Chains A and B, each alone.
Chain A
Amino acid sequence: MKIKRIGVGAIALAAAGALTLAGCSSSNEPAAEGDSTAVISVNNTEPQNPLIPTNTNEVGGGLVLQNIFAGLVYYDAEGAAHNDVAESIETDDAQTYTITIREGLTFTNGDPVDAESFVTAWNYGAALDNAQLSSYFFEPIEGFTYDENVDELSGLEVVDDLTFTVTLKQPESDFPLRLGYTAYFPLPASAWDDLEAFGENPVGNGPYMMDGEGAWQHNERIDVVKNEDYDGPREAQNGGIDMILYASTDAAYADLQGGNLDILQDVPDSALETFETEFEGRSVNQPGAANATITIPERLEHFSGEEGKLRRAAISHAIDREEVTDVIFNGTRSPAFDFTSPVIDGYSEDIPGSDVLEFDPELAKELWAEADAISPWSGTFELAYNADGPNQGWVDAVANQLKNNLEIEAAGAPVPTFAELRTSVTEETITTPFRTGWQADYPSLYNFLGPLYGTGAGSNDGKYSNPEFDALLEEGAAATEVEAGIEKFQQAQEILFEDLPVIPLWYTNGLGAWGEQVDNVEFGWDTWPILNQVTKSE
């Protein structure tokens, strides 16, 4: 079995001494054969929050913001970061960063893109009173706290018009890598006059801009047009993008078939088996920076201590990942070999201990029996999932495998809504193992490990805690040498394989298809199509 390895990126972590991100890459300048005024249509979902960068944490709004804003850095298809607005990002110690902005950049309303436009936006995003959904991204910056409202982070300082410094609470060498994420986008001075109106009609500095007032027709479409003044590496090769808002991917797929849609990002379950033949040469199915896992908290009966370790290992060995990804997902998921994702720099399939993810029903039964010797198992193994998402198929399949291979009772435990599942997970009231998943915010090993398994970390759903793991993570984050950092993170993963706080299942592939009329369609590490380089012949 082969995992298509994409993205051993150009740069990822801080180089010793002064770190400067590579300038704009010239590799992805497509042969512009299409009509540069043609408008591309792509499916999207209704943004769930106002279009304010620090308050957008889901894909519907994210796709819009990615295209109408330009951050300090941007990610290429492989997940490598390159400077966009930033002239340079420099640090000596991975703790204090000096960020210089390119000269002469403006927002589409003429406001300058300067140090102030970043610092004000970040301060707003971090302030407790503003309760921004992405405030967590500012946590590492000095002065950030959830205990009280802080209007201005002490770690952010404007040096001059085009320079500001960021001081972190502790060294984090992948900080520059994060700066392409939505939450770190700048905001124009005019945004502060009426932020509510701005959220409806944002003004950015990216390759595209909103197509006038009312470009966001709720539940129907969001139209963006080329920003002629954009001066940067992501210049649009087309005239604009019509983002058609769908409630069901099935409808979007039908529109692609019917020729009413140019690019489909994401493929409905009903077409997983057929889309690659139907759109031969015009489809994509490659691993993305997201994975699916089963979390079994230590606090559950039969899953603590040595018994828990044995049982989790047994369950892991009893799941035939390849069969589930082949049959249930038709090859649109890739079996997991680690806790991160193949598109991340430093990914490895051969981390010691990763053989716990191999399908081995004999060993599974043995381990389960060993655990039974400690305390005999009784009852049904239940796996909770939210029924408002497409989970029932694979959960039932995994339950059947556990039933067949461990000879125990196993079943899926549907929870009606995502809200209910997350509430019971957050409040630790859930009494069964549950499904979890992680989509990377930025392409880094640390993002797959720190927020999920660090002691007391925000998204540590299983409340896992291991001081050894924490120490390795900290060392890795502070390492100023790329390879040294990766080594520490991989050592940290070895501990995870030992403890199995979650059971990795598979990586979520980026899926998509497009019509004959468009060219240069490429999907990025984050499973999104890179829209600015698409050309269309009419």
Chain B
Amino acid sequence: MPSNTRPTQAHYVAPLEETPLVAIDSVKADGKPSNLWTDAWKDVRKRPMFWISAALILLVVIVALFPGWFTQVPPNNDCQLSNSNGGPQPDHPLGFTKQGCDIYSRIIHGTSTSLSVGLIVTFIVATLGIVMGALAGFYGRWVDAVLSRLGDIFFSIPYILAAVVIMSVLSQYANVWVISLAIGIFAWPATARVLRAEILRVKNSDFVMAATALGVSRFRILVRHVLPNSIAPVIVITTISLASAIVAEATLSFLGVGLPSSTMSWGNDISQAQTDLRTAPQTLILPSIALSVTVLSFIMLGEVVRDALDPKARAQR
């Protein structure tokens, strides 16, 4: 284990008035053991932003699960070209798409697909990215070489090519899971690289040395100490990539390898509305707003969680 202090690094002693003296030798034996996650939860539930984002997400989830509660208009049947790009009418509050389908109903019914694809992809990307990035960054050497280069290979494959090949092979299984897998399997290297970089930085921190000195196992150090302190950028990227995943699903449909065209999704409607940008921008903007609101609620949630997981930021408040 190489020494982690540089010879020039001066020790810093905080001025007395900044650090009130506390008795450090007395242990509060009856208190609950402090735990990162319970601490975070205690912090989180005090914040209005958490409750706002949670309520929004809950709403989106309910819409996804029970679209019938929100609209009686069938999204895909009874589309009449005579209504093409038409404005709002009673029972059709947001007007019609180019094909004459009800926009509001399509947004409501598209929620399920878009949300599932977004969440599953995000989960796959986060899991693969965290495992690969953490191992590569923390263990270094050949582990790093193998995993990072593997990431390079995956990253260099043109996405269109991979998607068309995978989806053609699996065409009879074109469902939300397969689509999500096809998107997620090529998106993890970015997350992995960012986490790896952050771990490279964090693993030389004093608290890691302290843990090592205390005889904590390497793996436990990674999971308990290094990872929680390096996770912030991953949260930021993952919450934003939720949007990219929802849009990527549309790209696949656009390429003809996505979900069957009878499946509604926001991405599909956004990409189909593109050619009418000059004449009927509302057909594009409305599903985009649904997408934005969903992503916003997840970004806000991510923000709260990130803050809560950062003990220093918490202490500052």
Contacts and interface: CB of A to CB of B under 8 A. Distances in A.
B255 A270 contact: no
Interface string A398-417: 00110110000001101111
A100 interface: no
Contact of A273 (B79, B254, B260, B278): B278
Contacts of B275: 268-270, 393
Given A270-B278, A274-B278, A411-B262, A323 B254 contact: no
Contacts of B99: 393, 396-397, 400
B255 A387 contact: yes
A416 B168 contact: yes
A399 B98 CA distance: 14
A420 B81 CA distance: 30
A256 interface: no
A416 B257 contact: yes
B261 interface: yes
A502 interface: no
A387 B164 CA distance: 11
Given A327-B81, A397-B81, A386 B278 contact: no
A404 B78 contact: yes
A324 B81 CA distance: 8
A323 B261 contact: no
B98 A416 contact: no
Given A414-B256, A416-B255, A396 B81 contact: no
A223 interface: no
Secondary structure of the B contact surface, majority rule:
loop
A126 B100 CA distance: 51
Contacts of A400: 79-81, 99-100
A328 B81 contact: yes
A465 interface: no
Interface in B190-233: none
B98 A404 contact: no
Interface in B65-103: 77-82, 84, 98-100
Nearest to B274: A270
Contacts of A471: none
A251 to B, nearest CB: 15
Given A270-B278, A411-B261, A412-B261, A323 B272 contact: no
A402 to B, nearest CB: 12
A49 interface: no
Contact of B256 (A323, A387, A404, A411): A387
A386 B262 CA distance: 17
Contacts of A392: 254, 261, 272
Contacts of A414: 253, 255-257, 261
Nearest to A274: B278
Contacts of A324: 81
Interface in B112-132: none
B256 A415 contact: yes
B95 to A, nearest CB: 15
Given A327-B84, A397-B81, A417 B277 contact: no
Nearest to A396: B99
Given A396-B99, A400-B81, A401-B81, A411 B260 contact: yes
B256 A328 contact: no
A270 B276 contact: yes
Interface string B275-313: 111110000000000000000000000000000000000
A320 B84 CA distance: 14
A269, A324, A400: most-surrounded residue (chain B CB, <10 A): A400
A323 B82 contact: yes
A271 interface: yes
A386 B255 CA distance: 9
Contacts of A271: 278
Nearest to B262: A411
A50 to B, nearest CB: 26
B178 to A, nearest CB: 15
Nearest to B165: A416
B256 A386 contact: yes
B87 to A, nearest CB: 15
Contacts of B254: 387, 392
B81 A320 contact: yes
A268 B168 CA distance: 29
Contacts of A328: 81, 84, 98
A302 to B, nearest CB: 20
Interface string A368-391: 000000000000000000111000
A416 B169 CA distance: 12
B184 to A, nearest CB: 20
A274 B279 contact: yes
A273 B261 CA distance: 25
Nearest to A414: B256
A323 B81 contact: yes
B81 A416 contact: no
Contacts of B262: 411
A393 B98 contact: yes
B121 to A, nearest CB: 20
Most B CB within 10 A of own CB, among A328, A403, A411, A414? A414
B278 to A, nearest CB: 6
Contacts of A396: 99, 261
Nearest to B82: A323
A271 B164 CA distance: 29
Contacts of A274: 278-279
A387 B77 CA distance: 22
Contacts of B82: 323, 327
B261 A417 contact: no
A421 to B, nearest CB: 9
B280 to A, nearest CB: 9
Nearest to B84: A327
Interface string B160-189: 000010011000000000000000000000
Contacts of B279: 273-274
A268 B279 CA distance: 13
A82 B276 CA distance: 42
Interface string A407-436: 000011011110010000000000000000
B51 to A, nearest CB: 42
B171 to A, nearest CB: 10
Contacts of A393: 98-99, 272, 275
- The 6 A-B residue pairs with the shortest CB-CB distance in the complex, in nearest-first order: A387-B256, A414-B256, A269-B275, A416-B256, A327-B81, A327-B84
Given A273-B278, A274-B279, A404-B78, 13 more contacts: A269-B275, A270-B276, A273-B276, A327-B82, A392-B272, A393-B98, A393-B272, A396-B99, A400-B80, A400-B100, A404-B79, A416-B164, A416-B256
9 contacts: A273-B278, A273-B279, A323-B82, A327-B84, A328-B84, A392-B272, A396-B99, A400-B80, A400-B99
Interface of B: 77-82, 84, 98-100, 164, 167-168, 253-257, 260-262, 272, 274-279
